[in-house]
Chains A and B, each alone.
Chain A
């Protein structure tokens, strides 16, 4: 069974190898002519106008937390979906109760204005 993961290991080695090769190549072949412009922070062509080390809005935390909760819901949905045909109707109702409880939390967040950005 573990042989099934062999392509995954090859992909990891390949991906890591490519990254290392490109870093080494650019170090080896690339010229280094440092100018003031080149040494500034890269901001996709924009002029950086203040420090990036700023405090983030707590809204990010709320979004991340909601993401984890629904991520866990998806993880629970997988084994349910695989066994869907074998399970009794009660089990299907049970899963919908599970989803309904989580959606109660989502609606709470929505009504509290947690999703709104201003």
Chain B
């Protein structure tokens, strides 16, 4: 096993274990903090795939922003006293449904994985992806780039609307 595989499995274990804690933890705060390690592990996988810009974006936006927003979202709720914030106990019917759906998705993914023709590139990976992203973003994908700014505008106006004072 080479160093690449070792690092990959290290990050994979971090992702799977912390994601399991996110789902199974009874305390929603523990779930939120466990999500940090999931995001971090995904950033590590991005680095392994030579996607350095995406990895930095993952850390900056997901760990630095989205996670803070989730934790604020928890603290904004009225039932903050810890005891009441628990993921609801699920009945047998829900567990059966969830199990069947998970099984179907898992089988589909394994089927796709086995039947896909994986191409391996002969080319050496780029030193850094940021130059290409910058060039493409402001030439071929300019419209999508500007539409993204409108989406962000909607987000900021929506937040201002939610947080407004009741008059």
Does chain A bind chain B? Answer: yes
Are A69 and B138 neighbours in the complex by a CB distance under 8 Å?
A: no
- Please, which residue of chain A has its CB at the minimum distance from the CB of B158? A65
CB distance from A11 to the nearest CB of B (A): 14
Q: Are B156 and A2 in contact (CB under 8 A)?
A: no
Select one of B73, B145, B149 contacting A102, CB under 8 A: B149
Q: Is the CB of B134 within 8 A of A69?
A: no
Specify the chain A residue showing the minimal Cβ separation from B155: A69
User: Does the CB pair A102–B69 fall under 8 Å?
Assistant: no
Least CB distance, A98 to chain B, in whole angstroms: 4
Mark out the residues of chain A between 1 and 36 whose CB falls within 8 Å of any chain B CB in the assembled complex: 1-2, 5, 9
Let me know if B69 and A94 touch, CB within 8 A.
Answer: no
Q: Which residues of A contact B160 (CB under 8 A)?
A: 62, 105, 108-109, 112, 114
Q: DSSP majority for the B interface?
A: helix
Q: A53-70: which have CB < 8 Å to B? A: 53-56, 58-62, 64-69
In contact, B152 and A105 (Cβ under 8 angstroms): yes
Q: Is the CB of A53 within 8 A of B65?
A: no
Q: In the bound complex, do residue A98 and residue B149 qualify as a contact, i.e. CB atoms below 8 Å apart?
A: yes
Q: Is the interface of A mostly helix, strand, loop or mixed?
A: helix
- For chain A, the bracket of interface size reads 35 or more
Q: Which of A55, A65, A108 contacts B69 (CB 8 A)?
A: A65
A61 CA / B75 CA spacing, docked (Å): 10
Query: Which of A68, A79, A94, A101 contacts B150, CB < 8 Å?
Result: A101
In the complex, identify which listed stretch (B88-96, B105-113, B124-132) lies at the interface while the others stay far away: B124-132
Mind listing 11 A-B residue pairs with CB under 8 Å?
Answer: A9-B7, A58-B162, A61-B69, A65-B69, A73-B152, A75-B60, A79-B133, A83-B134, A91-B138, A101-B153, A108-B157
